Amino acid sequence: MTTSAPARPIRIAMLGCGVVGTEVARFLLRDAEELGRRVGAPVELVGIAVRRLERTRSLDIPSELFTTDAKALVTRGDLDVVIEVIGGIEPARELILAALESGASVVTANKALLAEDGDTLYEAAVKAERDLYYEAAVAGAIPIVRPLRESLAGDRVERVLGIVNGTTNFILDAMTTTGAGFDDALDEAQRLGFAEADPTADVEGFDAAAKAAILAGLAFHTRVTIADVHREGITEVTAADVASASEIGSVVKLLAICEIDPEGSQVSVRVHPAMIPATHPLASVRGAYNAVFVESEAAGQLMFYGPGAGGAPTASAVLGDVVTVARHRVDGVFGPGETVHAQVEVLDIGRARTRYHVQIDVEDRPGVLAAVAEAFAVHDVSIKTVRQEGRGGDAQLVVVTHEADDAALAATVGQLRDLEMVRGVSSVMRVEGVS
Ligand SMILES: NC(=O)c1ccc[n+]([C@@H]2O[C@H](COP(=O)([O-])OP(=O)(O)OC[C@H]3O[C@@H](n4cnc5c(N)ncnc54)[C@H](O)[C@@H]3O)[C@@H](O)[C@H]2O)c1
Ligand SMILES: N[C@@H](CCO)C(=O)O
Ligand code: NA
């Protein structure tokens, strides 16, 4: 009987040691022995690139691991895995490309880079015959990249609806629960540490748009970048919108929506606030949690739920990828890459179809309802329900439409605003998650 020689160690380097990196290093160092058993070879964290060494003193990580020369670390030539948790476009892109060229597989949490220029990275990984894994980039700890890329690879995904930004979900949830306006809810989110001092990327929907681009590419086997994603944030959502949603049995959520038409030739990828029925599974996603709701032909409806951010939860997703790509290195193989063969057109927002909730302040006199209904009719927008409430000499009309083109709805709203008996259109919001 012969016994095989012990496998050589898997050497891992990490770029960045911030919120996510600190937790990745902590678990990797603490659990190295157990992770090595799962991988089938010892795993060794051999270096961590940081911007400033002084900042590392307070961390419980051996000081000899740190370097400020990220380029030298990734090109040292003996690495199996490089973890990129710096974020942003450069130098992350340059370092990932250098790591792949030097023979390492890469695990990244960098949604911004993948959504802007994923192609360059995916192609470099294929050329280098190495892995590029990024479970942490979408919805943190929640397994969603791998389910789309592998588990659902034999099915036809029709729609993905995601709450993929915890900060905005926390704010909208607070507005729903307390009746607060956006500014007060944002202040509270910042005070509790759920929103950053500069909340732009979250509240303006940039973070969710990057994740939507990644999800759409995976779901529909095509290339989608952040430039293709229609984006609206939550800064314009008012307490009145939230109250109005509640009156129709709905809640307001910031959704990342990826849809394909039945012919499989056109996709819509968009991020905007929307009313969803309180009975929809996404409506019960509270606080800073994330969830991704997937509808596919054979599987039907699937929901993935959990913590979408935070150091330790995000480290869980990073380490899952590290174990997977390390196993591949031991076996001398690499995993499934991106499938981008589908020839689909990404629709302009004007051609996206959904339902709308429109709140119109009008004079309360004969002929007003008819004129309002006419404005919808001429643009081929069919009305599903109308509710009227008296307000002194004025009234408020709340119209919910059937499915219509976004451009047709915009033209309708334009015409309503021009009507002499209309005092204003106080809220326009899309309605999603209604079958
Ligand atoms: N924080 C989360 O909850 C979360 C969740 C999912 C994904 N992510 C992603 O993970 C990545 C890291 O996020 P984070 O929250 O840890 O950010 P962070 O700002 O806390 O950490 C990034 C670290 O990288 C360091 N850095 C910057 N440039 C560097 C360079 N040239 N060389 C070495 N180090 C450099 C910074 O000094 C900082 O310490 C980002 O891509 C982010 O989008 C974060
Ligand atoms: N800032 C993001 C976490 C990282 O993607 C959020 O609020 O969900
Ligand atoms: Na994830």
Residue 2, pLDDT > 60, answer no
**Ligand 1 centre distance from Cα of residue 22 (Å):** 10
**pLDDT confidence of residue 4:** 61
Query: Do 256 and 120 reside in the same domain of the chain?
Result: no
- For 369-391, what is each residue's pLDDT tens digit? 999 999 999 999 999 999 998 88
DSSP-derived secondary structure letter, 16: -
**pLDDT confidence of residue 1:** 44
- For 207-245, what is each residue's pLDDT tens digit? 999 999 999 999 999 999 999 999 999 999 999 999 999
Query: Do 129 and 229 reside in the same domain of the chain?
Result: no
- For 315-368, what is each residue's pLDDT tens digit? 999 999 999 999 999 999 999 888 999 989 999 999 999 999 999 999 999 999
Query: Do 159 and 205 reside in the same domain of the chain?
Result: yes
Average pLDDT, the chain: 96
Query: Do 220 and 167 reside in the same domain of the chain?
Result: yes
What are the C-alpha distances in Å from 410 to residues 78, 346, 351, 363, 433?
Answer: 57, 20, 11, 22, 21
Query: b/e for 68-81, b at 16 or more Cβ within 10 A?
Result: eebeebbbeeebbb
Residues above pLDDT 70, as percent of the chain? 99
Q: Is 322 in the pocket of ligand 1 (CB under 6 A)?
A: no
* pLDDT confidence bin for 55, thresholds 50/70/90: confident
**pLDDT confidence of residue 393:** 83
**pLDDT confidence of residue 214:** 98
265 within a domain of the structure (yes/no): yes
Residue 152, pLDDT > 70, answer yes
Query: Do 152 and 280 reside in the same domain of the chain?
Result: yes
**pLDDT confidence of residue 56:** 85
Partners of 386 in the beta sheet? 399
Query: Do 135 and 159 reside in the same domain of the chain?
Result: no
Partners of 83 in the beta sheet? 14, 107
CATH code of 61's domain: 3.40.50.720
Query: Do 165 and 227 reside in the same domain of the chain?
Result: yes
Query: Do 132 and 252 reside in the same domain of the chain?
Result: no
Amino acid in position 357: H
409 within a domain of the structure (yes/no): yes
Query: Do 261 and 356 reside in the same domain of the chain?
Result: no
Consult the annotation and say whether 17 binds a ligand: yes
Consult the annotation and say whether 18 binds a ligand: yes
Q: Is the ipTM of this complex over 0.90?
A: yes
Q: How far is Cα 12 from Cα 99, in angstroms, rounded to an integer?
A: 11
Q: What is the DSSP string of 217-244?
A: HHHHTS---GGGSEE--STT--HHHHHH
Q: How far is Cα 127 from Cα 97, in angstroms, rounded to an integer?
A: 11
Q: Is 20 in the pocket of ligand 1 (CB under 6 A)?
A: yes
**pLDDT confidence of residue 27:** 98
Mean pLDDT, residues 301-307: 98
Q: CB under 6 Å to ligand 2: residues? A: 165-167, 202, 207, 308-309
Cis peptide before 91 (omega within 30 of 0): yes
270 within a domain of the structure (yes/no): yes
Query: b/e for 14-51, b at 16 or more Cβ within 10 A?
Result: bbbbeebbbbbbbbbeeeeeebbeebebbbbbbbbbbe
Q: Cβ contacts of residue 79 below 8 Å, gap of 6+? A: 11, 12, 13, 46, 99, 102, 103, 104
How many domains does the chain contain in total?
A: 3
**Ligand 3 centre distance from Cα of residue 295 (Å):** 18
Q: Which residues span the domain enclosing 56? A: 10-140+312-331
Query: Do 265 and 170 reside in the same domain of the chain?
Result: yes
174 within a domain of the structure (yes/no): yes
Contact call for residues 160 and 292 (beta carbons, < 8 A): yes
Query: Do 157 and 127 reside in the same domain of the chain?
Result: no
What are the C-alpha distances in Å from 70 to residues 36, 272, 326?
Answer: 25, 37, 21
Which residue, among 118, 47, 113, has the nearest Cα to 79 in the 3D structure?
47
Whether 211 sits among the annotated catalytic residues: the reply is yes
109 within a domain of the structure (yes/no): yes
Which among 297, 331, 365 is the end of a domain?
A: 331
Q: What is the DSSP string of 299-318?
A: TEEEEEEEE--SHHHHHHHH
The sign of the CA dihedral 165, 166, 171, 172 is positive
Which residue, among 10, 91, 11, 79, has the nearest Cα to 50 in the 3D structure?
91
| Nearest Cα residue to atom 21 of ligand 1 | 18
Query: Do 152 and 125 reside in the same domain of the chain?
Result: no
- For 339-352, what is each residue's pLDDT tens digit? 999 989 999 999 99
- For 92-139, what is each residue's pLDDT tens digit? 999 999 999 999 999 999 999 999 999 999 999 999 999 999 999 999
Q: How far is Cα 269 from Cα 212, in angstroms, rounded to an integer?
A: 7
**pLDDT confidence of residue 5:** 65
Q: Which atom of ligand 1 is nearest to the CA of 113?
A: 41
385 within a domain of the structure (yes/no): yes
* pLDDT confidence bin for 184, thresholds 50/70/90: very high
